[in-house]
Structure 1
Amino acid sequence: MRILFSVPRYHPNHDGLVAGLQAAGHELHFLVRAGHATEFHRPGVAVTLLPGWDTGDNLRRPPPVRALARILAAVRPDVVVARNPSRTSLALHALCRLRGLPFLLYIQRRTGCETMGPGRQMLLRLGLWPAHTVNAICPDPPPPPPGKTCDFLPFAIEPGPVRTEWTERPPLSVLAVGKLDQARKNHRPLVRHLAPLLRGGDIRLTLLGLREEGTSPVFAALTEEIAAQGVGDRVRIRENLDYAASRRLYAEHDLLVLASSAERAAVSPMEALAAGIPVICGSDNGTNFVVREGETGFVFPDGDFPAMAARVADLVADPAAAARMGRAGRRLIETEFSPAAAARRFESILARHFPPLR
């Protein structure tokens, strides 16, 4: 089967599903609207850049219908999967309806059609909204409108390096992942609230993320916080690593802490569990369903950084628990969120909604 994905960019959170579908013998094409120098493209995946369009879909121009039609004609997909109800996605949906092509809308948010704005409600009433949606972060999606479907299709993670030597006594190695110049990643309050553990020699901290050229106010404030807390010798910043290097870094640490707010669908918790290390993350993270409380990690209330630091201190006091949670997380990924499991879910969704594709 030839599958065309239309996405803002080839993000690592696509890669597990891609690996599973490739292993199952499917041909994959990606239509992207932006890219990054550190981006990883899996061999055998065709990636096409939609010229002149950024990830936000330029609202000053009509959707690029002609360009999309040419791409559909060139790729000749059996099914199209478009992420987010952007103008590009809805234009693709219209073209697929005209051509009789199966179409799936792929979203990464907690809620579905019940929170639509007026414009999308109008599309729904006119019958122009896609019939079939897959959701990456809702194990129990809300009921869709009559005549529509919504299926759970979570991220998947390909096996990678695994933590094998566990710290038996402090300091524990803590990893935090997120763009280094975005305030909502909360790196600065993370450093501030972990500073007592850092100064006490209980933990070491690595901040891993992308950063644009130059020094943004957010990144400058982060480095100032590190200096003000007197923990510069215990905090390491790793920026703009490629995908393979980032995956290796997880296995060099004892736990992941994700302090972000407004985090719709972070893939880092699943990457951490795949590496055999536990996760401490906020309640505002869309993929926190993989963090089974006390089993694979802990979830703290969004923005409650003292609670976050207390959970880190719990694992400092009991490193064996961190090792136990890490092993449980690895098993969870292997059984429920592997590339093969994702491919089976995807094929099952297509078989239910588009019987000719069985």
Structure 2
Amino acid sequence: MSRFPHLSETFILREMLEMERLGWDVKLFPLMLQQQAVVHDEAKRWIPQAQAQPFISPHVALSSLQRLAKQPLKTGGIVAKTVAESANSPSELVRKLALIPKAITLAKHMQEQQIAHIHCHYATYPAFAAWIINRLTGIPYSFTVHGHDIFVNRAMLPTKARGASAIIAIAEFHREFLVEKLGEWVRDRIHIVHCGIRPERYQPQPKPAGERFEILTTGSLQDYKGHPFLIQACSFLRDRGVNFRCRIIGGGEDKPMLEQLIAEKQLTGMVELLGPQPETAVRELLATADCYVQASIITPAGKMEGVPVSLMEALACELPVVASRMSGIPELVRPGETGYLVPPANAAALADQLLYVRDNPEEAARYAARGRELVQSDFNLVTCVEQLSETLLAVNPALQRPIQRNA
């Protein structure tokens, strides 16, 4: 993956843990090892094991020179193809060229450790590094696509897709998007494997009756999460005399802007920014909510959600959910069945739907119960990772079926 530990990427952490439980010997190679103030408990033991390399060091320089001397044509070919396919974006090209020595060093360590398969999350730099390692060592690779890595940044995507043993898409929407952008040839390489959660960790909780309508959302404070539209919707609810509180879990670069917007809309005390929270705290907060919202948007650059794991967590808690109709979200939040959808970037429609949920609790509860059933059947981490495991076994004959460990 690009970075580790990364608070919002619980889906990667959970997948690693479940693959390990299935018996796989999992090694962790993040492109960057980062410092975070809040770290999930389950991520802490992985930090000392993470095999990150600096962008430049005597060891990285020596590994690159040795590889160049040993495989001059392949190494030169990697650089030439990278330049040819990324030249239209100078900043992208610079980042890729800076990553090549690191990827060469990772290739050396993976060969020494007899790594049999590389699986990475995101079709951007992780898949680029895997492509380089594959070209130099022959180690097969696969990658999971999520959102911005195909919706926005598609530099060298055809090359990375052709080199991969398998492409994992988290939703049907993603498969059709890739087929549309790359061509029909890619369809057979794509396997649908949902991200998943352990539903038993997100149990429905009885809520004490209260006059205040509790709204909750989880997501990094970035533009594509649509938080300004949720705040605007809250101002509409306030103007209608609704007694509510909206809490936003997450941290990010948009925090100052959102704080200012809350103040401008005179929503202080009604809309709260809770900052980044570990998984245990998120579970506790979900138990206090009446409705979960995912107000995601499509940015001008085309960035958008995939299928937010936070929606799975909310539905597993049997919370009514209101989300934007976009990307793969309708495959989880199904109108008239598991939740409610509204057009993205439409604060008025979002406010109307929130008011409807508040005023129709019995219907909302029925949908939420069906949502939990759907998560249990189609977005269960155990089932999803078993599908991933079987896919990797099918596309890489060198892999041996592991002996499952105890749960």
CA distance in 1, matches of 2:186, 2:334: 33
State TM-score, norm by structure 1. Answer: 0.82
Aligned to 1:39: 39
Distance 1:138 1:146, change over 3 A: closer
Q: What pairs up with 1:179-328 in 2 under 5 angstroms?
A: 179-180=220-221, 182-198=222-238, 200-211=241-252, 218-261=254-297, 262-265=303-306, 266-328=308-370
What is the 5 A alignment of 1:81-100?
81-96=119-134, 98-100=136-138
Radius of gyration: which is bigger? 2
- Partners of 1:137 and 1:8 lie apart in 2 by 23
Which of 192-201 and 312-321 deviates more? 192-201
The count of corresponding residues between Structure 1 and Structure 2 is 340
Distance 1:243 1:319 in 2: 27
Q: SS where residue 252 of structure 1 aligns?
A: coil
| 2:54 is the alignment partner of 1:51 | yes
* TM-fit CA distance, 1:112: 6.7
Please list every run of 5 or more consecutive structure 1 residues that lacks an aligned counterpart in the other structure. 1-5, 213-217
Shift of 1:335: 1.7
Q: Map 1:116-131 to 2 at 5 A.
A: 119-121=156-158, 123=159, 129-131=163-165
What's the counterpart of residue 80 of structure 2? Answer: none
Give the match for residue 340 of structure 1: 382
Query: Does the Cα contact within 8 Å between 1:111 and 1:141 map onto a contact in 2?
Result: no
Q: 1:295 to 1:110 in 2, by over 3 A?
A: farther
- Structure 2 CA distance, aligned partners of 1:245 and 1:253? 13
Q: Which has the higher strand share?
A: 1
Identity, % of aligned pairs?
20
2:214 corresponding residue in structure 1 = 173
Shift of 1:281: 1.2
Counterpart secondary structure, 2:11 = helix
RMSD across aligned C-alpha pairs, in angstroms? Answer: 3.1
2-side partners of 1:238 and 1:193: how far apart? 19
**Structure-2 change in CA distance of 1:23 and 1:71 (3 Å):** same
2:391 is equivalent to residue 349 of structure 1: yes
Of 230-239 and 94-103, the range deviating more from structure 2: 94-103
User: How far does residue 151 in structure 1 lie from its aligned partner after superposition?
Assistant: 0.5
- Do 1:170 and 1:201's aligned partners in 2 also have CA atoms closer than 8 Å? no
Q: Does 1:61 align with 2:59?
A: no
Select between 37-46 and 72-81 the one with higher mean Cα deviation.
Answer: 37-46
Cα deviations by residue, 1:64-90 (Å, 9 ceiling, x for unpaired)? 233212331354323211223335533
Structure 1: distance between partners of 2:110 and 2:131: 11
| Greater share of helix | 2
Instruction: Say yes or no: does 1:102 pair with 2:128.
Output: no
Aligned: 1:331 with 2:373 = yes
Aligned-partner residue type, residue 50 of structure 2: V
- Partner Cα separation in structure 2 for residue 298 and residue 116 of structure 1: 31
Question: Counterparts of 1:97 and 1:225 in 2: how far apart (Å)?
Answer: 49
Aligned residues of 1:7 and 1:33 also touching (Cα < 8 A): yes
Pair 1:145 & 2:185 matched: yes
Q: CA deviation at 1:93?
A: 2.7
- 3-state SS of 1:238 partner: strand
User: Which letter does structure 1 place at the counterpart of 2:164?
Assistant: P
Distance 2:116 2:356 in 1: 51
- Preserved contact between residue 315 and residue 371 of structure 2 (Cα < 8 Å): yes
Alignment correspondent of 2:81 = none
Is the 2:31–2:126 contact (alpha carbons within 8 Å) kept by the matching residues of 1? no
| CA-CA distance at 1:356 after TM superposition | 4.5
Match of 1:12 in 2: 10
Q: CA deviation at 1:334?
A: 1.6
For 2:186 and 2:263, the matched residues in 1 are separated by: 57
